[in-house]
């Protein structure tokens, strides 16, 4: 909402893709979508086109997939707020002389159930020129993507956790796009949780229900992180891991603030 009353805005440009691949909404494989609502900082984004109204601020909370479903929200301008206990980290706006139009942050590490992982922070750094790299918040991506070096460390620690705690082993024939899945996991198994550590001591917790994806028809439990094979693409904190957090982007201040612990969107 910009205000409670409806408004009409002239001259706003929207685009739709004509040849879209691998963009599916929901469980129905035929449910293709025409594009993604652009909320970055580039000149064509909704946020920028209506900057007088949005004031280059947006906040949202994406409700995780619960039964019964819980509401999500998306606010702009003066309605974009965050309250209570929250953390703030800086947004990176330039890479050399190149303006960044996505929400880049400095990720200093990742922990699994309170144990820091042996991941070199350089794997999350922006590379000079057009070499890519970096770490972004991107709600348009469902799952989270990590570069190979970081992903392998996370994957091995997840494997070790389930083997040592429950003698569970990855299921090789899961037939999904995920790297690691488990089959017929007992209900009493306590799954690990994750924390992303951002510059300035801003920790972002992902609970176990969002770290792992249940595929009920196959009785699978899969790690909702995918290996990033294109070195020029940044690490992506996807929408599933952002679920159940209040998140505020203030482009004027070059900051992103968020509730550090997951909770019900209100």
- The residue extents of the domains of the chain are 57-258
Q: What per-residue confidence (pLDDT) applies to 185? A: 96
Q: What per-residue confidence (pLDDT) applies to 1? A: 45
For 230-247, write each residue's pLDDT tens digit: 878 899 999 999 999 999
Mean pLDDT (whole number) for 122-151: 92
Q: What per-residue confidence (pLDDT) applies to 58? A: 97
Q: Is the pLDDT of residue 251 over 70?
A: yes
For 221-232, write each residue's pLDDT tens digit: 999 999 998 878
Q: Which two tokens stand for residue 53?
A: 């109204």
Q: Is the pLDDT of residue 2 over 60?
A: no
Q: What per-residue confidence (pLDDT) applies to 176? A: 92
Other beta carbons less than 10 A from residue 93's beta carbon: 12
C-alpha triplet 49, 79, 259: angle, nearest 5°: 110
Between the two ends of the chain, the Cα-to-Cα distance in Å is: 15
Q: Do 77 and 53 form a contact (C-beta atoms < 8 A)?
A: yes
| Residue 76 to residue 1: CA distance in whole angstroms | 6
CATH value of 57-258 in 3.40.190.10, 3.30.420.80, 2.60.40.10, 2.40.70.10: 2.40.70.10
What Rg do the C-alpha atoms of the chain give, in angstroms?
Answer: 19
| Res. 194 pLDDT band, cuts 50 70 90 | very high
Q: Do 61 and 234 form a contact (C-beta atoms < 8 A)?
A: no
Backbone angles phi, psi at 48, to 5 degrees: -80, -40
Q: Is the pLDDT of residue 130 over 90?
A: no
For 10-61, write each residue's pLDDT tens digit: 888 877 777 766 665 555 666 567 777 889 999 989 999 999 999 999 999 9
| Res. 169 pLDDT band, cuts 50 70 90 | very high
| Residue 191 to residue 137: CA distance in whole angstroms | 24
More confident residue, 44 or 168: 168
| Residue 166 to residue 155: CA distance in whole angstroms | 16
Q: What per-residue confidence (pLDDT) applies to 155? A: 98
- Percent of the chain residues past pLDDT 90, beyond the cut: 72
Q: Do 197 and 108 form a contact (C-beta atoms < 8 A)?
A: yes
The length of the chain is 266
Closest to 47 (Cα-Cα) out of 231, 230, 249 = 249
> Which residues, in sequence order, are CB contacts of 198 under 8 Å at separation 6+?
87, 89, 105, 106, 107, 108, 204
Q: Is the pLDDT of residue 198 over 60?
A: yes
């Amino acid at each position: 909402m910009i205000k409670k009353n409806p408004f009409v805005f002239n001259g706003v440009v929207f685009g739709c893709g004509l040849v879209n691949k691998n963009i599916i909404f929901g469980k129905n494989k035929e449910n293709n979508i025409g594009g993604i609502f652009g909320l970055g900082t580039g000149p064509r984004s909704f946020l920028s086109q209506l900057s007088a109204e949005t004031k280059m601020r947006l906040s949202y909370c994406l409700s995780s997939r619960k039964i019964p479903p819980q509401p999500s929200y998306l606010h702009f301008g003066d309605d974009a707020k965050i309250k209570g206990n929250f953390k703030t980290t800086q947004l990176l706006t330039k890479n050399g002389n190149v303006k960044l139009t996505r929400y880049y942050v400095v990720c200093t590490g990742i922990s699994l159930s309170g144990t820091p992982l042996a991941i070199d922070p350089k794997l999350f750094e922006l590379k000079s020129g057009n070499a890519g790299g970096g770490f972004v918040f991107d709600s348009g991506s469902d799952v989270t993507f990590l570069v190979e070096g970081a992903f392998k460390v996370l994957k091995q620690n997840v494997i070790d956790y389930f083997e040592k705690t429950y003698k569970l082993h990855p299921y090789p024939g899961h037939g999904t796009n995920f790297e690691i899945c488990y089959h017929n996991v007992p209900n009493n198994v306590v799954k690990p949780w994750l924390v992303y550590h951002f510059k300035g001591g801003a920790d972002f917790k992902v609970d176990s229900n969002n770290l792992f994806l249940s595929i009920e028809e196959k009785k699978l439990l899969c790690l909702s992180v995918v290996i990033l094979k294109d070195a020029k693409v940044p690490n992506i904190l996807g929408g599933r891991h952002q679920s159940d957090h209040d998140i505020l982007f203030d482009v004027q201040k070059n900051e992103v603030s968020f509730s550090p612990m997951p909770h019900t969107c209100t």
